[in-house]
Structure 1
Amino acid sequence: MFEILVNVEEMVDSSPVVQVGLALAGRHDAYVTGLHIVGVFPSSMYLPDIMTELVTEEYQARQCDAWWMEQCRKHGLRGAWEVIRGVYVSALARRSCMADITVSQLPPSHPSHLVGMDDVTRALFSAASPMLLVPPDWNGHFSPERILVAWNSTQESMRALRAALPLLREAGMVRLIDGAQDTLPGISPPPLPVRDWLVRQGVSLQSIHPFPDASDVGEELLSHAYAMHADLLVMGAWGHSRIGELILGGTTRHVLEHARLPLLLAH
């Protein structure tokens, strides 16, 4: 059975993450688990006031069980509500391993926040399941008819592609940006035969384009996605050095910071 985990931070019907998670589950008759994490910081665990706040938050979150099950009922879905108290990154990464896709909010861009160091993208880097990240101002509609795939023949991009298969098979338009290179023939592994694999998997590619020959690949990818009115961008995350991308910039960092459409990422 297809399993979807929805990382719920705001327990309200209008939350884009809730709406997209339920819509995705409905498209694939998936079992959908709503998860709320009560984040703790070990250094403050011994402060009485902090402990009282955590207990109160956990209690209030558990009272949302009926609300979540009503959302599932409205969408004709099977599901469950879970509340976990723990260190946010490790709790999300560990629980997400039981899901095929985790739906969470795309961390909002902020000048004082270092992109990629937020809890959600740190969890993605910590062996979590592939993540569908939804912009905080998304309209909640999720029917991905136009999908752009950023491909560079890495393990990360292959994991993202496999996670996106159910969506790719149903999409009306799938375009692939191919950045695979056979840099050292006979020494380094050759590019993966992704085109033949997609055909075998029942995915019809409308077009294949070379990776942008530009200094800012992330900007070019987003421009291509907006030009085709894409509903979803699929790509591997942190394909090179994550620390290098954070310090020097990179494709993943730019996309996380500037995307205005849902992203399906895998590490």
Structure 2
Amino acid sequence: MSYKTILVYADCGQRTAVCIEVAIRMAMQHDAHLIALYTQEPFVIPAHLIQAGEEVIKTQKKFADDEVAKVKSAYHNQALSMGFTNNEWLYTQGFPVDTVAEQARYADLVIVGQADSSDKLNVNKDFTAQLMLAAGRPVLILPYAGSFLNIGRRILIAWNASREATRAITDALPLLKRAESVHLLALSSKYDAQNHIPVDETVLYLARHGVNVEVARDRVTKIDAGNAILSCAADLGSDLLVMGGYGRSRLREWVLGGATRTILESMTLPTLMSH
């Protein structure tokens, strides 16, 4: 497996330029085609604008069009300044989660920014979680703070032998093969310290792909799994976390696994999640 098509969501607010730069660097490393996707919800005219008159409606529409043109121009300028030409711009109208998830089906990797809980204009703070669950592709999520010039030199895998974790490892193989070091973390809580998570088969599987793994076996923790993962990543100086994403939709409410929610809300390093 290799990444030959990478999709970056070009509407990450103030972090859009960071997401695009990371996407360009990754596309260059993997000799991949890069697609920057910008999506807008269908333009619905509120009742108060209809009453305000046609000129107000035109002004609102022009503001939206100008924003698209600004982001498009910035994207092409970034690619040009980095000497990258294997790219394209895609603009669509639709609801962001549905649109990005649909376009993700035609890519090997999706890059998005973490939802910023302090951004009062972010009306859909569950966008990243919903996309991860719906895309059917690995999603690389960049924290809303920090600079990430090098991603994937020191990788930490959060492993619990689940379907989602297995999918994440497989989806991350192009990155794992290029890494300088890979650590596999198997967590046991204070309540099930004797419940050893099997890792030997996973290490052997990765070794056959040319990935050498160091194992943090039977690491017992008294804190929740999500914070234990972040703590381990900090201790190892990891610059990328690979893990399964857990969750489901229940009566219009997105119910996430505990570790998944912790990482999505408090991530300190880029995280590749697969569901």
1:61 aligned counterpart, secondary structure: helix
The C-alpha deviation readout for 1:112-137, integer Å capped at 9, x for no partner, is 99xx9612211211134211100122
In the alignment, which residue of structure 2 is the partner of 1:177? Answer: 185
CA contact (8 A) 1:198 1:204 kept: yes
- Find the partner of 1:39 among 41, 45, 48: 41
Tell me how far apart the structure 2 counterparts of residues 9 and 111 of structure 1 sit (CA, whole Å): 14
The C-alpha deviation readout for 1:173-193, integer Å capped at 9, x for no partner, is 10001259xx9xxxxxx9893
CA pair 10-111 structure 1, distance change in 2 beyond 3 A: closer
The C-alpha deviation readout for 1:10-33, integer Å capped at 9, x for no partner, is 588972211211111121111111
- One-letter amino acid of the counterpart of residue 24, structure 2: L
Is the aligned partner of 1:198 residue 2:206?
yes
Tell me how far apart the structure 2 counterparts of residues 35 and 170 of structure 1 sit (CA, whole Å): 27
In the alignment, which residue of structure 2 is the partner of 1:61? Answer: 68
Where do residues 219-238 of structure 1 align in structure 2 (5 Å cutoff)?
Answer: 219-238=227-246
Aligned-CA RMSD value: 3.4
- Find the partner of 1:16 among 15, 18, 43: 18
- Find the partner of 1:84 among 92, 99, 113: 92
Q: State, as a whole percentage, how many aligned pairs show the same letter.
A: 27
In the alignment, which residue of structure 1 is the partner of 2:141? Answer: 133
CA contact (8 A) 2:164 2:274 kept: yes
Structure 1 position 98, deviation (Å)? 1.1
Tell me how far apart the structure 1 counterparts of residues 182 and 232 of structure 2 sit (CA, whole Å): 12
- Find the partner of 1:72 among 75, 79, 95: 79
CA contact (8 A) 1:92 1:128 kept: no
- Find the partner of 2:112 among 73, 83, 104: 104
2:98 aligned counterpart, secondary structure: helix
Tell me how far apart the structure 2 counterparts of residues 108 and 212 of structure 1 sit (CA, whole Å): 31
CA contact (8 A) 2:226 2:258 kept: yes
CA pair 216-246 structure 1, distance change in 2 beyond 3 A: farther
Extract unaligned runs of 5+ from structure 2: 51-56, 193-197
User: Normalized against structure 2, the TM-score is what?
Assistant: 0.78
- One-letter amino acid of the counterpart of residue 132, structure 1: L
In the alignment, which residue of structure 1 is the partner of 2:9? Answer: 7
Runs of 4+ displaced beyond 6 Å: 11-14, 245-249
Higher strand proportion = 2
- One-letter amino acid of the counterpart of residue 195, structure 1: V
Tell me how far apart the structure 2 counterparts of residues 13 and 88 of structure 1 sit (CA, whole Å): 17
Structure 1 position 242, deviation (Å)? 6.6
Extract unaligned runs of 5+ from structure 1: 184-189
CA contact (8 A) 1:104 1:133 kept: yes
After TM superposition, the structure 1 stretch with the greater mean CA deviation from structure 2, 47-56 or 22-31, is 47-56
Tell me how far apart the structure 1 counterparts of residues 97 and 4 of structure 2 sit (CA, whole Å): 23
Tell me how far apart the structure 2 counterparts of residues 230 and 104 of structure 1 sit (CA, whole Å): 19
Tell me how far apart the structure 1 counterparts of residues 108 and 38 of structure 2 sit (CA, whole Å): 18
CA contact (8 A) 1:62 1:82 kept: no
